[in-house]
Amino acid sequence: MNDINVTASSDLGMSRDDIAAALKKALEGRTLRRVLIIPPDFTRFHSNAGLITNILWHHLRDQGCAVDVMPALGTHVPVSESQWGAMFGDIPFSEMIVHDWRNDVVKLGEIPEADVMRISDGLWRHAVPVEVNRRFIDKSYDLVISPGQVVPHEVVGMANHGKNIFVGIGGSAMINASHMIGAVCGMEKAMGRDHSPVRQLFDYALEHFVYGKVPVLFALTVTTAPGGKIRQHGLFIGEGRACLENAIALAQKMNTDKVEKPFKKCVVYLEPTEFTSTWLGNKAIYRTRMAMANGGELVVLAPGVERFGEDATVDGLIRKYGYRGRLATLEAFEAPANDDLRANAGAAAHLIHGSSDGRFSITYAVKKITAEEIEGVGFKAASYDEMIRKYDPNALAPGWNVVDGEEVFFIPNPALGLWMA
């Protein structure tokens, strides 16, 4: 098929009718009896992939097609019933298929060691297994549709496309290896860019194990959310890489904020239904680190954060090893006694991503974890109630503010952008 590229005709974004028309056009001429849709989970609520999934579900069912919906959880906890309704509308919660990244996967092949070394400039010397949920290769599906948002990302550079498959419904081996490769190669070399080392891994896996074997249609969005209201600025639909490149070009304009000076004080608010762990909430760190001044302070207002990891295993590893910086984490990763960390390389990568390497301080203000626990993993702790009296997220404007004579940069949702000085 020819790629379909639709952009908004106004600053208010695309309408539901605009989106529906593009999706229906993409499906014209296809004989579909059974389709698998793989949208992102609730942590990508502002992707507008929930609306896209709802439109597709109704349209396909009206055509007599069976439709399965399996959110791309990666390592995240399953979507709750309330989250499902908020994101996917009237699709019954009972229709959800839950991806199990540790057990419910099959191996498609592996990316050879030589190619991994070339891609990582020799920083990773192991072949990378390519694993996906077994349903992805189920021949009873006439088509797999992968909707999702292209936005700056700390591991792959710009999220979605192959990431939605190889991480979103991937297995532990690929998730661990890709995240660790991204960490050792350096976030600053990736964030906001195409052709990062991890993107090259995903492109290799698509070329060798998916294209021509599994019928996949990508539906990629570019969105912003001023005041929490989703505005979709583009929809890029295709079966290859061109849709990704077109989406990246728009996302780099809409979701990258080049500020005129570094942040000495930055306050980030984490919406409580979206961010319930530091595993998710550390987007506040990833997305601001290139704008933070040396010696600056990042304050994370996190009323919904109630744990560190998304599952008990990872939570325990974060508590044990903490966010101590790149070198300390790599030292722990290589220590002979630390088999638990090596078996969960994705967690090790997350520990690297979640540290400032001592360049600026990170203060978490929470309600559901003790100050001792926060400090135990390497952050500073502050009372949430005291912090919001000073930095009220309802009173601060996005961008620069002056609070008690102090200049403060406020970010109401770190998931939707990348800030660079």
**Does residue 46 surpass a pLDDT of 80?**
yes
**Does residue 155 surpass a pLDDT of 70?**
yes
Report the pLDDT value the prediction gives residue 416, as an integer from 0 to 100. 86
Q: Which class for 338: exposed (0-12), middle (13-18), buried (19 or more C-beta within 10 A)?
A: middle
Report the pLDDT value the prediction gives residue 2, as an integer from 0 to 100. 75
Mean pLDDT of 113-132: 96
Q: How many CB atoms lie within 10 A of CB 361?
A: 14
Lowest-pLDDT range, 121-125, 198-202, 216-220, 316-320?
Answer: 121-125
Q: pLDDT tens digits, residue range 260-299?
A: 999 999 999 999 999 999 999 999 999 999 999 999 999 9
The confidence band for 20, taking pLDDT boundaries of 50, 70 and 90, is very high
Average pLDDT score over the chain: 96
Alpha-helical (H) ranges within 120-211 are: 162-166, 172-185, 197-209
* Euclidean distance between CA atoms 365 and 45, whole angstroms: 23
Report the pLDDT value the prediction gives residue 188, as an integer from 0 to 100. 83
* Euclidean distance between CA atoms 104 and 409, whole angstroms: 43
Do 150 and 160 form a contact (C-beta atoms < 8 A)? yes
Reference 127, options 165, 173, 179; nearest CA is 173
Report the pLDDT value the prediction gives residue 89, as an integer from 0 to 100. 98
For 187, residues 6+ apart whose C-beta sits below 8 A from its C-beta are 154, 155, 286, 289, 353
Report the pLDDT value the prediction gives residue 186, as an integer from 0 to 100. 87
Mean pLDDT of 144-162: 96
Lowest-pLDDT range, 13-27, 174-188, 352-366?
Answer: 174-188
Q: pLDDT tens digits, residue range 297-322?
A: 999 999 999 999 999 999 999 999 99
Going along the chain from its start, the domains and CATH numbers come out as 4-254 (3.40.50.11440), 257-420 (3.90.226.30)
Q: The dihedral of CA 315, 316, 318, 319: what is its sign? A: positive
H/E element, 196: none
Residue type, position 273, single letter: T
The confidence band for 1, taking pLDDT boundaries of 50, 70 and 90, is low
Mean pLDDT of 60-76: 96
* Euclidean distance between CA atoms 58 and 381, whole angstroms: 47
Reference 285, options 165, 377, 384; nearest CA is 377
Q: pLDDT tens digits, residue range 325-337?
A: 999 999 999 999 9
